[in-house]
Amino acid sequence: MSKVAALEKRPGFSRRGPVVLLIMDGVGFGKYAEGDAVKAARTETLDRLFATCPWTALKAHGTAVGLPSDADMGNSEVGHNAMGCGRVFAQGAKLVDQSIETGAMFSGRTWQDLIANVRKNNGTLHFLGLLSDGNVHSNISHLKAMVARAKADGVRRVRVHALLDGRDVGETSALEYFDPFEAYLAELSDDSFDARIASGGGRMVITMDRYNANWEMVRRGWDIHVHGEGRQFSSAHEAIRTLRAETGAIDQDLPGFVIAENGKPVGPVLDGDSFILFNFRGDRAIEISRAFDEKGLDTFDRGRIPDVMYAGMMEYDGDLHIPSRYLVQPPAIDRTLAEYLCATGLRQFSISETQKFGHVTYFFNGNKSGKFDGNLEQYVEIPSDIVPFEQRPWMKCAEIADRLIAEIESGKWDFFKLNFPNGDMVGHTGVFQAVVCSMEAMDIQIGRIARAVEKAGGILLITADHGNSDDMYEHTKTGEVKKKADGTPCAKTSHSLNPVPFIVYDPCYAGEYDRELNKGLGITSVAATCMEMLGYIAPDFYDKSIVNFN
């Protein structure tokens, strides 16, 4: 039973065909000409739509999507939350900041239980997560605050299992975080407190898989973090330097490593220990959480399973309650677009490939993994390739378009939402040529979808969740491209702070609304706009529609 009422019909506006919301993940309006793979690509479809259709730019980062400040880049999780719920909710980083600042985290039951468990068993408090200040999955400041508080609370031994970023921060910036952090731990350590980094590895090699795409990543992380099984080094600094020299890989792709003394790992996870995953974002935290929390998990052989008290920074899946313990309450997102459309009896079809399937379902629906109405909704996942994305930059956009067009032609659905991951997933590789290729491949499929929408008498809305492919080079404060020693540009693998497009392609337009779209809005306005273009009046508490009806 839906918790919301049916939407009120807007008099005098309807279309024969469906409304299609097409999300170009990681595609924004670039600030710099150099390094903008979107501009560099030959995109005849998008060029034509920009020249002939109403369009505007939307904010997709910082406070516009519930992050702490406008210095914080947007990301796919909060972006799809924002588009799906129609207004701003405080998001992961901001919630954790507030919990630490007020002391609520440390006075909460979960923290108290974790500390009591360690003290009772003379055990180790372990921390696992992404060691950077990217503020997309984690923030190193949160970890430092928790380690300091653990010492104050009488914990005697801390081990940190530190994943390298190189994706939401500079591609080879790891030592800018690891070296000062190791110094921080050394300064905290004394005769009564021993804190060290115990293991690590690149985020795209170990631990941080999502959407069940590659459980082998999780197995590698489990063996390294839990069992201390992996290539041994005397320090994280030595590991990173050595592995970079041997592989030539950027941080996110470095192999896993274990810190050892006299041939023995310094931080295996043992019975009686407590373990905290300090990442706050859910998608890449669920599988490793299941490995700790789920007794019957059979996706890989865990070997010895230590009897530990495990907690996540947040509840990563509110429906499946993963994990069972968590430190900070996630945003309670309700009254989403999908729920309203179900209450109104509208039929919805959602599709993407594995890498972004959860974004057009779970995240778009307000961190809800199930359907609001199984009779009105269908979710389709196209399996992603398990190869480096720069080797298949077109990804699965053609297959997504194939299925979507067939469903449009069926006439069964009122509303579609789809995500093309190309701009984000290929953008994170830092390979400029591959990103240009990914944009051109996506543009071809957008052209096919636009023709199907026109034939069906529908409306196509094109937007994005954040920028990435629009900003592929590192720039100085004066706007110059940073160069490597060989003179080539320094690749940027993180998201941008740039606004994103919103295009209205409505072949049956007959003057029902103003072609001049509202300016200065954020992507939270996408939800109200979808409702309006479906012929309904959005709730008054939703952020303003991008389209003004006459």
Tell me the two tokens of residue 501.
């497009």
User: Buried b vs exposed e over 251-277: b needs ≥16 C-beta within 10 Å?
Assistant: bbbbbbbbbbeeeebbbbbeeebbbbb
Preceding amide of 68 cis, omega within 30: no
Question: Read out DSSP for 241-306?
Answer: HHHHHHH---GGGPPPEEEEETTEES----TT-EEEE----STTTHHHHHHHH-TT--SS---S--
Give me the amino acid identity at 374.
G
Question: Which residues neighbour 3 within 8 Å (Cβ) at sequence distance 6 or greater?
Answer: 334, 335, 339
- Secondary element (H or E) of residue 351: strand 348-353
CB 458 within 8 Å of CB 34 = no
d(CA 364, CA 337): 8
In the prediction, which pLDDT does 278 show?
98
Nearest in space to 252 (alpha carbons), one of 131, 372, 340, 145: 131
* Contact status, residue 53 vs residue 509, Cβ threshold 8 Å: no
What are the beta bridge partners of residue 500? 58
pLDDT in tens, 525-539: 999 999 999 999 999
Q: How far apart are CA 522 and CA 487, in angstroms?
A: 38
Domains of the chain and CATH, by start:
8-90+332-537 (3.40.720.10), 93-328 (3.40.1450.10)
- Identify the DSSP state of 172: T
For residue 61, what pLDDT is reported? 93
Going by their DSSP bridges, the two strands 264-265 and 274-277 should be labelled as: unpaired
506, 508, 513, 516: CA torsion to nearest 10: 40
Sheet holding 415-420, edge to edge: 55-58, 500-505, 459-463, 19-24, 415-420, 348-353, 377-382
Strands 55-58 and 264-265: unpaired
- pLDDT tens sequence across 112-160: 999 999 999 999 999 999 999 999 899 999 999 999 999 999 999 999 9
Q: Has 76 been annotated as catalytic?
A: yes
Distance from C-alpha of 359 to C-alpha of 417, rounded to nearest angstrom: 10
d(CA 512, CA 421): 33
Per-residue model confidence (pLDDT) at position 2: 63
For residues 488 and 433, is the Cβ–Cβ distance under 8 A? no
Exposure string for 79-93, b = 16+ CB within 10 A, e = fewer: bbbbbbbbbbbebbb
pTM for the model = 0.77
Closest CA to 372 of 314, 403, 415: 415
Residues of the chain with pLDDT under 50: none
Q: Pick the catalytic residue from 2, 14, 69, 76.
A: 76
As a whole number of angstroms, the distance between CA 412 and CA 68 comes to: 41
The distance of Cα 448 from the centroid of its chain, to the nearest Å, equals 28
